[in-house]
Structure 1
Amino acid sequence: MNLKRFLIITAISLFFVLETRAQFNLDAQYRPRFEVRDGYRKLATEGSTPSAFISQRTRLSFSYKTEKIKLKFTPQDVRIWGDEQLASSNGVYGDNASIDLFEGYAEIKMGNVGWISVGRQQLVYDHQRLFAARNWNQNGITHDAVVFKLSVNQWNIHAGSSWNSLDATLSDNLYLPGHIKSLNYLWANRKFSDLLNFSFLHIASGVTETDSTNTLYFKQTTGIYTEYNNNGLKLRGNAYYQYGKNNTGKHVSAFLIDADAGYQIGNLTPGIGLSYLSGNKNPGGSTDKLFDVLYGSRHRYFGHMDYFRDFVKHTKEGGLADFYFYLKYKFSKTVTLANTGHYFQLAQINANTPNNKNLGYENDLMLKCKFSDWGSIESGYVFYLPTESLKILQGVSNNKFSQFFYLELTLKPTLFKQEAKSL
């Protein structure tokens, strides 16, 4: 065999060895939501008029994937219908700037060990207690981060880090004290069987002391998540402990305990649960005992009225106990009715809270119809029966019946999909 023929055969062989199958997708998401707010986020007062409006999320995702690289870019527009700034009877001539980059990241394969993901991406883990998609918010939430995704001896391990800045500065590393400047975490997950799933999570979140100093205080959060499924029985639990220092430099010692049990009987699934976030009995003391849920989901777990979003402000550092029960019924493969009742209490009474822990009852009723693989419609009706303690916390004395209704359409079609062989 001469050299020329050898080189040709070698080149052809390398071509078939190196080529991989590449996939390109163009996906869209369109989500308008109609809301009637009459006590949403804060108790309705006598004489107040309900608010009605339509918000809209529009996303377009470009994704490219081979055996060695993944790319995803998702621009997003979020708006309220009619929020145009320059309009006349002849048409619309201007609008609020509302287009942003929701996702923009690359994942590169690191041999047989795993992947490294770099850029703006979602960080969603376990049951979203500390890292959540925050999907109720039309904007959602993503993070500018570097994440190593490894697979070692049946364990899925993610190690991530993020360093946030307000601008490309020449000196200093100033940041808003209420926002996380440095985020670092380690997540280890293993599915021991079809029945048992287990995760370990550690988060080191650093915040600046003030917006004019470089001092960083780190709060550490360590805990586990477990899930057990067997013949219709579903058990789920979280336990996390926080330590380190808060944004004022005060020592932290706080905890979160969460447990849920459900059992499917035919098309019906009843369940009960408890979420407990520790609070401060002495807010002025040397130790901060109020648990910080970080980037966890509020709307999903603490009631759809969203009365408990900021636990420093909304519980006066008292923490929260949520005793809840739920019923889910599947009328068919596409239609589901769910009702969840919450009874809320303060975890602790302190000098800033009312003397009675009881905060009242919330009822969340939802109906969802998934009419296609790419589309669904969901409606919800929520009401809250407050106690005097909640009225005191919110500073509302002349309240009326508080309720909230929404109707949401979600369309998520794949507009274009192509697979091709490439180097």
Structure 2
Amino acid sequence: MKKIKIIALLLLGGISLHVEAQELDVNLQIRPRFEYRNGYKTLLPYGKEGTSQISQRSRLNFNYKQEDLTVKLTLQNTRTWGDVTPTATADKNGVAVFEAWAQYDFTKKWSARMGRQVLSYDNQRILGEQDWGQQAQSHDALTVSFHPENQRLDLGVAYNSDAENTFQTPYTVANYKAMQYAWYHTTFDKIGASLLLLNTGYEYANTDAKLLVDYKQTFGTYLTYKTDKIDTNLSAYGQTGKSTNQQVSAWNAAANFTYSITDSFKAGLGYEFLSGKDTNDGSTVIKSFNPLFGTNHGFNGYMDYFYVGGGHLNNVGLQDAFLKLNYSVNKWQFALMPHVFLAAADVVTPLPQGEKMNSYLGTEIDATFGYNFKKDIVVSGGYSQMFGSGTLEFIKGGDASHTNNWAWLMISVNPRIFSWKK
């Protein structure tokens, strides 16, 4: 620690000969998480047993500001305890650059940011950090922001390659080849309104082995209304365009309402619809909505049966009706959230039977707690159980009659290890 401080002071001392206003903040995150998985993400297959493991995120964040220039560098390592031997000479995952960007403020209203960065907007349903995942999510992009009072317009572009090639080669990374977006947000009185236009292009090879890029458009709005007692939001998104030469036609809508009964107790209810495709639909049109880069763990139940890690994509869609109860007292926070899941499209058994199944997929109960142990240390945990149906078993496989549950405990330590301002 002393060496880090000395090196930082020497470097900044040299810079300060030319620049007056400077700030440097260095902070650390250590976040181990224990999980017991017994039907997590999918129903536990017949004859299989659950498992447990401990994963960990370790991050080092450097935040530097010099007049109109802001720079951020975040290094991280993600690991599972025991994934290398105690005498290993190299780490399995190594150290990755999670964020590395520079931002220049041209005026008080205009700024531009380039490099590896988090793209997070509104409730993170379409673009989010995915912070629950130990690796989280960031993009290589250029963004320009116009932010006058009570308004903000962000424009972003990205273009990806897997190497510094000398001629055209296939892009083999499971990611978009190109991406452009525009996000606008404004507030007036107690209402907030956002508009999002997102264009994502994915590369594929046609029948002649020619590399092509198909573009899919995601567009929609997110509205909020907040008072001292009421917190509500509405959203609606559509998807069109093409994906691997297939037409896309999908949509998503959601509504959430929360009321503060007391200063400590809140109750809310919500509903979300993500379009899907009938299992007996033989058309090539993609009718299943894809949340793309959203923080999907925060939606549709914490057991991640739907949309997390690509699960449930191009399927029968989802209806999610839920209730949420929050209670906080002193340093404690508690939440209880039951979900009722239904398919958004018809689930039909294969021919010759061709029988339409019940749309009910199951009920999930999520219970969580958080405790602010002391400054820079937060303890959190939870327990979830899925009561799956035969229809869920038909779609995802596994054994619905088995006890499918999940429990976790996480400690997040976030100390500031160095701060300097001139």
So what's the TM-score if we normalise by structure 2? 0.89
Q: CA 1:24 to 1:382, structure 2 compared with 1: closer, same or farther past 3 Å?
A: same
Query: Paired residue for 1:330?
Result: 328
* Structure 2 residue 93 is the aligned partner of structure 1 residue 97: yes
CA RMSD of aligned residues (A): 2.1
Question: Which runs of 5 or more structure 1 residues have no equivalent in the other structure?
Answer: 1-17
User: What CA distance in whole angstroms lies between the structure 2 residues aligned with 1:34 and 1:292?
Assistant: 29
Q: CA 1:352 to 1:240, structure 2 compared with 1: closer, same or farther past 3 Å?
A: farther
Name the SS of the counterpart of 1:98 in structure 2: coil
Query: Paired residue for 1:65?
Result: 65
Query: Paired residue for 2:296?
Result: 298
Name the SS of the counterpart of 1:187 in structure 2: strand
Q: Is the 8 A contact 2:78 2:93 kept in 1?
A: no
User: What CA distance in whole angstroms lies between the structure 2 residues aligned with 1:315 and 1:169?
Assistant: 32
Q: CA 1:352 to 1:23, structure 2 compared with 1: closer, same or farther past 3 Å?
A: farther
1:180 offset after TM fit, Å? 1.3
- 2:105 is matched with which residue: 105, 109, 112? 109
1:315 offset after TM fit, Å? 6.4
After TM superposition, the structure 1 = structure 2 runs for residues 148-297 of structure 1, keeping only pairs within 5 Å, are 148-152=144-148, 154-172=150-168, 174-176=170-172, 179-193=175-189, 195-210=190-205, 213-246=210-243, 248-266=244-262, 267-281=264-278, 283-297=281-295
Q: Is the 8 A contact 2:287 2:314 kept in 1?
A: no
1:310 offset after TM fit, Å? 6.0
Q: Which moved more, 1:155-164 or 1:365-374?
A: 365-374
* Structure 2 residue 347 is the aligned partner of structure 1 residue 356: no
Query: Paired residue for 1:76?
Result: 76
Paired AA for residue 205 in structure 1:
T
Query: Paired residue for 2:4?
Result: none
Q: Deviations over 1:205-250 (max 9, x none)?
A: 111123964211111111111111112111111111111112x212
User: What CA distance in whole angstroms lies between the structure 1 residues aligned with 2:42 and 2:286?
Assistant: 26
1:397 offset after TM fit, Å? 4.2
User: What CA distance in whole angstroms lies between the structure 2 residues aligned with 1:346 and 1:176?
Assistant: 33
Paired AA for residue 64 in structure 1:
Y
User: What CA distance in whole angstroms lies between the structure 1 residues aligned with 2:115 and 2:29?
Assistant: 21
| Aligned residues with identical type, % of pairs | 29
Q: CA 1:288 to 1:49, structure 2 compared with 1: closer, same or farther past 3 Å?
A: closer
Q: Is the 8 A contact 1:27 1:416 kept in 2?
A: yes
* Count of residues paired in the alignment: 396
Paired AA for residue 159 in structure 2:
W
* Structure 2 residue 142 is the aligned partner of structure 1 residue 146: yes
Q: CA 1:174 to 1:273, structure 2 compared with 1: closer, same or farther past 3 Å?
A: same
Q: Deviations over 1:329-354 (max 9, x none)?
A: 1122x211001111111100155786
Name the SS of the counterpart of 1:299 in structure 2: helix
User: What CA distance in whole angstroms lies between the structure 2 residues aligned with 1:372 and 1:391?
Assistant: 44
Q: CA 1:128 to 1:279, structure 2 compared with 1: closer, same or farther past 3 Å?
A: same
1:302 offset after TM fit, Å? 1.7
Q: Which moved more, 1:390-399 or 1:250-259?
A: 390-399
Q: Which moved more, 1:350-359 or 1:407-416?
A: 350-359
Q: Which moved more, 1:361-370 or 1:307-316?
A: 307-316
User: What CA distance in whole angstroms lies between the structure 1 residues aligned with 2:50 and 2:198?
Assistant: 41
User: What CA distance in whole angstroms lies between the structure 2 residues aligned with 1:252 and 1:83?
Assistant: 41
Q: CA 1:134 to 1:95, structure 2 compared with 1: closer, same or farther past 3 Å?
A: same
Query: Paired residue for 2:36?
Result: 36
Query: Paired residue for 2:342?
Result: 345
Name the SS of the counterpart of 2:83 in structure 1: coil
Q: CA 1:231 to 1:113, structure 2 compared with 1: closer, same or farther past 3 Å?
A: closer
Q: Deviations over 1:3-57 (max 9, x none)?
A: xxxxxxxxxxxxxxx9652110111111000111111112124543321111110
Q: Is the 8 A contact 2:42 2:396 kept in 1?
A: yes
User: What CA distance in whole angstroms lies between the structure 1 residues aligned with 2:287 and 2:310?
Assistant: 11
Q: Is the 8 A contact 1:33 1:55 kept in 2?
A: yes
User: What CA distance in whole angstroms lies between the structure 1 residues aligned with 2:373 and 2:310?
Assistant: 41
User: What CA distance in whole angstroms lies between the structure 1 residues aligned with 2:391 and 2:161?
Assistant: 40
1:380 offset after TM fit, Å? 0.5
Q: Which moved more, 1:105-114 or 1:345-354?
A: 345-354
Query: Paired residue for 1:9?
Result: none
Name the SS of the counterpart of 2:217 in structure 1: strand
Q: Is the 8 A contact 2:45 2:397 kept in 1?
A: no
So what's the TM-score if we normalise by structure 1? 0.88
User: What CA distance in whole angstroms lies between the structure 2 residues aligned with 1:243 and 1:398?
Assistant: 35
